[in-house]
Amino acid sequence: MAQTSHGVGGVGYDAKKRAWPAELNVFLALVILVVVFELIGRIFLGDSFLFNTRSDVSAIFNEARLQIIILQVSIVGIIAIGVTQVIITGGIDLSSGSIVGATAMIAMSFAQVATVNGNPNPKAMFLAQGWTDLPVIVPVLVAIGCGLFAGLVNGALIAYTRIPPFIATLGMMVTARGIAKWWSKGQPISFPTEGFAAIGKGLMPVIIFLSLAVLFQLIMTYTRYGKHCYAIGSNEDAARMSGIKIANHKILVYVIAGVLAALAAVVLSSKNLTAQSGMGVMYELDAIAMAVIGGVSLSGGRGSIIGTVIGSLIFGVIISGFTFLRLDAYYQEMVKGVIIVGAVVLDQWRQRLRAMRA
């Protein structure tokens, strides 16, 4: 087979050498996980994890469970879309959870009604200024502005001072959480307008999550921005020598991540009908875990939004699987820690395997 690897001329194709898409492995893991829960359920509980077992409902699947699985991951999933881009570029964003907290507080203050049950809204931040009952676009734009600003600070710090992304975003994590607490002196902000409340109603979080996922999957695959994300994460020096403007690109990546975290804050506070300063705590780790489970390499250059979406589903299946098995919430949290570390170990392992084959 010297013909295929040595310079005889022309381009050769060898179908066998086509890379097996990493997303397929992740999807396989998802399927296996579901099957495992299904088997455990059937054997030990006499109940089905995935399928409908109630005679009064005519459906093949247990739709309630499917909804819960995807609904509970969709908000963190929105963050994970941005985190994926950051990690592919070779960075990390630890600030997303705090950006959610700060943005939820600030945006919600512009989404409040003037009167509750005929009385002035007791929680209204800007009642005196008359900034109540504003059109829904106002709090949404405020939120986007918050995310944009936080992302800009993250990106500029990383691009210009060259401090490691880990440190820069850790600083933002602490600061943004501080802002979230300071904003209303720790008080929750509630009573949003109907328009604002509609954003996170029912399956809206899922729809928003999946639309954004499709949008960014296309962007990562078909645009120059996406190509440069992979190039920088893969070999930053090569990207620089090829003339890619690294600083600008990094700033853009962190801005996008910030804005996505802000959108997650809008959806979350709308869904909960309230904003609290503790919102989004640890979301950054969940988002990173979703990405890493989905095959995004922490060393940069590899992964995809589709992978992260599948990773988020794995995350959701594990959490609802534990509920299904009636395991205590404490166990869930402990297992989440194991998943996060496990995903990173898996990533390292994958890389070592790859290095061995190369």
Partner 1 sequence: MSDIVLKTENLTKRYGGVHALEGANFELRKGEHVAIMGDNGAGKSTFVRQITAVEQRTSGQIWFDGKEVNFAGPIEARTAGIETVFQNLALADDLDVPSNLFLGREKVLFNLGPFSILDRKYMRKATEAALIRTAVKIPNLSNTIRHMSGGQRQCVAIARTATFASKLIIMDEPTAALGVQETAQVENIIRTLKDNGEPLILISHNMRQVFDLCDRIVVFRRGRIVANLRKQDTDGNDIVSYITGAKTGEAELAA
Q: How many residues make contact with partner 1 (CB under 8 A)? A: 42
**Does residue 222 bind partner 1 (CB under 8 A)?**
yes
The CB-of-226 to partner 1 minimum distance in angstroms stands at: 8
Point out which span in 16-24, 44-52, 117-125, 264-272 binds partner 1 (CB under 8 A): 16-24
The answer to whether residues 317 and 69 touch, using CB atoms and an 8 Å cutoff, is yes
Question: Which residues sit opposite 112 in a β-bridge?
Answer: 192
User: Which residue reads 């995903």 in tokens?
Assistant: 343
Q: Is residue 48 close enough to count as binding partner 1 by CB under 8 A?
A: no
Question: Closest approach of Cβ 3 to partner 1, in Å?
Answer: 8
In angstroms, give the least distance from the CB of 231 to partner 1.
4
Region from 154-162, 186-194, 318-326, 350-358 binding partner 1, contact rule CB under 8 A: 350-358
Q: Is residue 53 within the footprint of partner 1 (CB under 8 A)?
A: no
Q: What is the pattern of x (binds partner 1, CB under 8 A) and - over residues 235-274?
A: x-xxxxxxxx----x--x----------------------
| Strands of 72-166, DSSP E | 115-116, 119-120
Q: How far apart are CA 184 and CA 163, in angstroms?
A: 32
**Tokens standing for residue 175:** 């600061």
Residue 93 contacts by C-beta under 8 Å, 6 or more apart in sequence? Answer: 82, 83, 86, 154, 165, 169, 254, 257, 284, 288
Cβ burial 141-166 (10 Å sphere, 16+ → b, else e): ebbbebbebbbebbbbbbbeeeeebe
* Residue from the set 183, 230, 315, 322 that interacts with partner 1 by CB under 8 A: 230
Return residues touching partner 1 (CB under 8 A): 3-14, 17-19, 219, 222-225, 227-228, 230-231, 233-235, 237-244, 249, 252, 301-302, 354, 357-358
